[in-house]
Amino acid sequence: MGVVMEKIEELTREVCEELIRPKEKDIEENGLYIPETLSKLGELGFFGVSFPREYGGVGLTFEEAVKSSIILSSYTSTISMIIGAHQLASLSIFLFGSDTLKQKYLSQLNKGRLIGAFSLTEPHAGSDPSSIKTAAFLNGDYYILNGTKAFVTNAGLANLYVIFAKTNPESGARGISAFVVEGDSEGLAVGHKEEKMALPYLPNAALVLKDVKVPKENLIGRANLGFIVAMKTLELGRILTSAGAVGLMERALHESIKYAKERTQGGQPISNYQIIQSYLAEMKTLLETSREIVLTAARKKDSNSPDLGLYSSIAKYYATKSAVDVTRLATQIFGGYGYVKGYTVERLYREAKMYEIVEGTNEIQKLIIANNILKG
């Protein structure tokens, strides 16, 4: 197994060096080459590393998928986050969807022929999904959906959405259902597009649903199971997000080491100064600790461990917090240049903050961790 993992990591890095490295600046700063890069990565299996081959996946472990994600995100946060958001849709269908839904959509999703999005958050319902207002009611052979979603990653790029709506408004979280909604459905429209402090070409926008007809066969699982669908999917999504944070830290450390060896002050490289050495040591420690926590969480998934949810939140909290700390230290090492547009660490510092917010804020992760250890 170790040899297989090493080979997968080697192949992933080779693909990234050939496909992404020469275009990184254009992808991240100008939004160029994104569709064709996604298409090529889909052909190569990056969208479905841990999904079974019968559904168009590569058939490897979740740990291997996480290792691949770490490498990819060290080259590009934009592409990595697009694929991560896409996989939330794929995972929802794989974990809870009917055989019909799996056969209809998963192979296309896992080969990148369809791009997915996961739509739970609303303007007034973020950390508390029970407060969502989007409603769905059954009318013959169709559910009719109405409402507005917010901060939908891949909105506009996606042609398949997993959308959560209330089918029993009086039941709070127990009244939520999940649906597969095709992107060209009548009444479905992309709303306000957010301008973020980083990742300008990562699609993120509102989604407006006005009398959208969804075949009842597109219900994921059963009616009123949506909260469970969302939470179990997000357990895995948080591990993938954490992997992205680890990749970001890898890149920040690499850039910092290179700069510290090349930049001279007082007639010598700044890497000779103990304060710079202490920053690099702290960055390396945070990186490797985060890596082990994230891989431990991935192994929990592969072994069907009952404490997967706990370790998913630990990984999300620690790795994303560490990413902010590591990129802050990288910026300090670069000094004034670390605050200048065009330098990679300046971009990484801004990107790191997003990891602390998506897939459930770090404050929510601490609540989940505390609840788990107190009930134990």
Inter-residue contact 90 to 116 (CB < 8 Å): yes
- DSSP secondary structure letter of residue 31: -
Pairing of strands 176-182, 204-215: unpaired
SS3 148: strand
From the candidates 28, 235, 351, 359, which is the catalytic residue?
359
Provide the 3-class DSSP secondary structure of residue 359.
coil
The region, left, alpha or beta by phi > 0 then psi within -120 to 50, assigned to residue 59 is: left
Structure tokens at 177: 């259902």
E strand or H helix at 341: none
Non-local (6+) Cβ contacts of 126 within 8 A are 150, 361
Beta strands 176-182 and 160-166, pairing class: antiparallel
Between CA 65 and CA 8 the distance in angstroms is 9
Nearest to 202 by CA among 358, 369, 364, 361: 358
- Half-sphere exposure of residue 129, counting CA atoms within 13 Å on the CB side? 25
Alpha helices in 102-225 (DSSP H): 107-110
Cα three-residue angle 360-210-226, rounded to 5 degrees: 40
Q: How far apart are CA 163 and CA 371, in angstroms?
A: 28
SS3 319: helix
Q: Which two three-digit tokens encode residue 90?
A: 């794929």
Q: Please compute Rg for the chain using Cα positions.
A: 21
Residue 359 annotated as catalytic: yes
Q: Between the CA atoms of 190, 194, 199 and 200, what dihedral angle is there, to the nearest 10 degrees?
A: 80
Contacts of 317 (CB under 8 A, 6+ apart): 362, 365, 366, 369
Looking at the annotation, which residues are catalytic? Answer: 359
